[in-house]
Amino acid sequence: MAGAWGRAELQDFRSRVRGVVLGSAVGDALGAPLDGLTPAEIVAAHGPQGLAAPVPAYGRLGAVTDVTQLSLFTVDGLIRAQVRRDTGVWHPPSDLHRAWRRWAVTQDDWGPDERRDDDGWLAREEWLYTRRDPHGPTLLALRARTMGTPAEPRNPRERGPHAAARSAAFGLLVGWEPRLVAQLAVECAAQTHGHPTACLAAGAYAVTVHGLARGDELPQAVRTAIGAVEPWPGHQEVVKALEAALAGAEEPPHPLGADAGADEVLAAAVRCALDGEDVRHALCLAVNLGGRASVTGALTGGLLGALHGETALPPAWLAELEGRPTLVVLADDFAVEMTQGPALHGPTYASPGWLARYPR
């Protein structure tokens, strides 16, 4: 998809971008009421088939968690990284660190009234200031001014799936090579999750989304992801889990505990996306595995959205989704920036409105 974009390619890409952003959020919202429950507890509360449709969490239907909040700031950070290229200063991990720190501020402030103009429009969305049990290690890491790196990561023992769950948008950099997508996702994951399993799960997830967004089928995209992370030290757990997910495509995924590692949760999401009779079935299958159901749902929803586009997502579930207008606008802005950015900013012209939305 590098080079000139035809109209059909632009429409397909926008649909997949919306699919990833909205699909991740739908999966997050579906799983939110089940967070921390075991499969047995889910069955006891929702019947022998488990949860089959959205139910309220945090006092409303369609409520999202910090997973979606951070994912939106990932998209925002990538747009602003592209805009900043005009200045000759381009280091995407730093741009993502600044974006995620803007999210961290939302978890401490009452609202957007005190935000500066250079924080951009997303940081002024009032609904994002609601705390939804944010992941503690992530929040603590992002409150620090210095940025974690693969050489000196934050939380070096943290091997959970939260870094992967915010990494889908890296896969939407369809003009990049898979190894560069993996590298960016790994470097950014190290800002909060220092264990190699967590970092490389983020890299593998991003590359899987990348393959799907470029038109690959899911097994092919996963194999590409395996190849992209294998050169990294400490890849064994992630590679083994993904290979097992592909090899066991006919078997039901294993239940997940609250302390499941990123390798286990990512593999479960892949299995659910492979197994699902349709998007509804796949998402319900994912969240009924227990553990941090919102994360598993978000990972699965991102895969399905990249694979099928936005039109495959359940309309009734989208209708209730918290913050849906914000998600759609941000997804469309991302698609425009990645395909037509030079028409919005460059050496000879810069749209004042665009730069107000995404300051350099």
Question: pLDDT tens across 85-132, in order?
Answer: 888 788 999 999 999 999 999 998 888 877 877 889 999 999 999 999
> What is the structure's pLDDT at 2?
46
135 touches 66 (CB < 8 A)? yes
DSSP string, 57-82: BTTBTT---HHHHHHHHHHHHHHHHH
- Domain holding 76: CATH number? 1.10.4080.10
The answer to the question of residue 292 being in a domain is yes
> What is the structure's pLDDT at 114?
72
Instruction: Tell me the pLDDT of the chain (360 aa) as tens digits.
Output: 445 788 999 999 999 999 999 999 999 999 999 999 999 999 999 999 999 999 999 999 999 999 999 999 999 999 999 999 888 788 999 999 999 999 999 998 888 877 877 889 999 999 999 999 999 999 999 999 899 999 999 999 999 999 999 999 999 999 999 999 999 999 999 999 999 999 999 999 999 999 999 999 999 999 999 999 999 999 999 999 999 999 987 788 999 999 999 999 999 999 999 986 799 999 999 999 999 999 999 999 999 999 999 999 999 999 999 999 999 999 999 999 999 999 999 888 889 999 999 998
> What is the structure's pLDDT at 3?
57
In total, how many domains does the chain have?
1
The answer to the question of residue 70 being in a domain is yes
> What is the structure's pLDDT at 88?
79
Picking from 128, 190, 184, the residue whose alpha carbon sits closest to that of residue 163 is 190
Tokens of 153: 């990561």
27 touches 71 (CB < 8 A)? no
The answer to the question of residue 7 being in a domain is no
The answer to the question of residue 232 being in a domain is yes
Picking from 206, 288, 280, 340, the residue whose alpha carbon sits closest to that of residue 268 is 288
Length of the chain counted residue by residue: 360
Question: pLDDT tens across 214-259, in order?
Answer: 999 999 999 999 999 999 999 999 999 999 999 987 788 999 999 9
The answer to the question of residue 5 being in a domain is no
The answer to the question of residue 96 being in a domain is yes
Cα dihedral 285, 212, 259, 131 in deg (nearest 10) = -90
> What is the structure's pLDDT at 252?
85
- Which pTM was predicted? 0.97
The answer to the question of residue 252 being in a domain is yes
193 touches 162 (CB < 8 A)? yes
Domain range spanning residue 293?
A: 15-343
The answer to the question of residue 151 being in a domain is yes
